[in-house]
Amino acid sequence: MDWQAVAVSAQLALVTTLILLVLAVPLAGWLAFSRRRWTVAAEAVVALPLVLPPTVLGYYLLVAMGARSPVGRWWQELTGSTLAFSFSGLLVASVLSSLPFAVQPLLAAYGGVDGRLLEASAVLGRGWWGTLGRVALPLSRAGLATAAVLTFAHTVGEFGVVLMVGGNIPGVTRTASISVYDSVQAFDQVAAGRTSLLLLGFSLVVLTLTYTLQRRGGPGWARP
């Protein structure tokens, strides 16, 4: 059992989820409540990682972050190490690849909030951020929970993008999913089996938790 790989997966998933929740709350809010017409285009871009093959995403990320790219070179100057094939690079890749999993549940939940509550908030003196934080978000707790869980689980399950951008470096970018792949190539069925079972068990626990959370009644917990 490659505990190191499990730890990499866990840390990657946790940090990605936290970053994405911070990003997705206002982003989904902007998509839901802005009246401009071109938010449709933005919504499509956000949804891209859902339909793009992971290899395509990985390819573009390598082009954008690799040592030969402007971003990669800037990062190298800043930190002394490469962005691609590092944990930070994986983080960037994960955040982009899991973006729709964080944004879409929130977007759906915001859409379910009674428009008159938002208007009441505005008339009572709140600006855009205030209304988002004090009315829309508290009434979208189910969406937030779903977003967190889906993002976490999706990140743990990532393979193609991680392999291309991370490079399977043990202890740094070898995640649990890649470790399974690696074990199979090393003819180590036992290790592969153990790690897979762990991931399976984890996914079941996470999903059960989400659905339990969603069943809680009360404002904001209606299923999105």
Partner 1 sequence: MTGTRRGGRLRWLLAIGALVASGCGGPASSAPDPTAGTVVRVAAASDLRFALEEVADLVAREDPDVELAVTCGSSGQFVQQIGNGAPFDLFLSADLAYPEQLVEEGLAEADDVFAYGVGRLVLWVGEESPVDPGGGLAALADPAVRTVAVANPEHAPYGRAAVEALRAAGVWDVVESKLVLGENVSQAADFVRSGNADAGVVALSLALAPSAEAEGRWAEVPLELFRPLEQGGVVLAGARDPAAARAVRDVLLGEDGRAVLGSYGFSPAD
Partner 2 sequence: MSGSLTVRVRRHVVDAELVVPLKGPPVTALFGPSGAGKTTLLRCVAGLERPDPGSVVVFGDELWSGDDRHVPARSRRVGLLFQDHALFPHLDVDANVAYGLRGVPRSLRGERVAEALATAGAGHLAGRRVRELSGGEAQRVALARALAPRPRLLLLDEPLSALDTPTRSRLRVDLREVLLRSGAPTLLVSHDRTEVLALADRVAVVVGGRVLQVGEPAEVFGRPADAAVARVVGVETAAPGVVRSRGDGVLGVEVGSGACRLTAVEVLGETAVGPGDQVLVCIRAEDVALELPGRAGPSSPRNHLPGTVTAVAVDGPLVRVDVDCGFPLAAYITRPAREELGLVPGSAVVASVKSPAVHLVPHPQ
Binding site for partner 2 (CB under 8 A): 114, 116-117, 119-127, 130, 134-135, 138-139, 218-220
Interface with partner 1 (CB under 8 A), residue from 23, 56, 184, 222: 184
To partner 1, the closest distance from the beta carbon of 107 in angstroms equals: 20
Nearest to 118 by CA among 140, 97, 143: 140
DSSP state string for the chain:
--HHHHHHHHHHHHHHHHHHHHHHHHHHHHHHH---TTHHHHHHHHHHHHHS-HHHHHHHHHHHHSTTSHHHHHHHHHHSS-STTSHHHHHHHHHHHHHHHHHHHHHHHHHTS-HHHHHHHHHTT--HHHHIIIIITGGGHHHHHHHHHHHHHHHHH--HHHHHHH---TTTT--HHHHHHHHHHTT-HHHHHHHHHHHHHHHHHHHHHHHHHHH--STT-S--
Q: How far is the CB of 203 from partner 1 (least distance, A)?
A: 22
In the chain, the amino acid numbered 119 is: E
Stretch that binds partner 1, among 35-43, 114-122, 130-138, 205-213 (CB under 8 A): 130-138
Query: Of residues 18-77, which lie at the interface with partner 1 (CB under 8 A)?
Result: 18-19, 22, 62, 66-68, 72, 76
Considering only residues 1, 59, 111, 168, which one is a binding residue for partner 1 as defined by CB under 8 A?
168
Pick what 105 binds: partner 2, partner 1, none; C-beta below 5 to 8 Å, kind-dependent.
none
Give the other-Cβ count within 10 Å of 19's Cβ: 17
Closest to partner 2 by CB, 23 or 222: 222
Please tell me whether residue 85 binds partner 1 under the rule CB under 8 A: yes
Task: Give φ, ψ of 53 to 5 degrees.
Answer: -60, 140
Measured distance CA(208)–CA(187) in Å, rounded: 33
Mask of contacts with partner 1, 86-105, x by CB under 8 A?
xxx--x--------------
Picked from partner 2, partner 1, none, the partner binding residue 220 (CB below 5 to 8 A depending on kind) is: partner 2
114 binds, among partner 1, partner 2, none (CB under 5 to 8 A by kind): partner 2
* Residue 79 in contact with partner 1, rule: CB under 8 A: yes
Of 142 and 176, nearer to partner 2 (C-beta) is: 142
**Positions that interact with partner 1 (CB under 8 A):** 4, 7-8, 11, 14-15, 18-19, 22, 62, 66-68, 72, 76, 79-88, 91, 133-134, 138, 167-172, 174, 182, 184-188
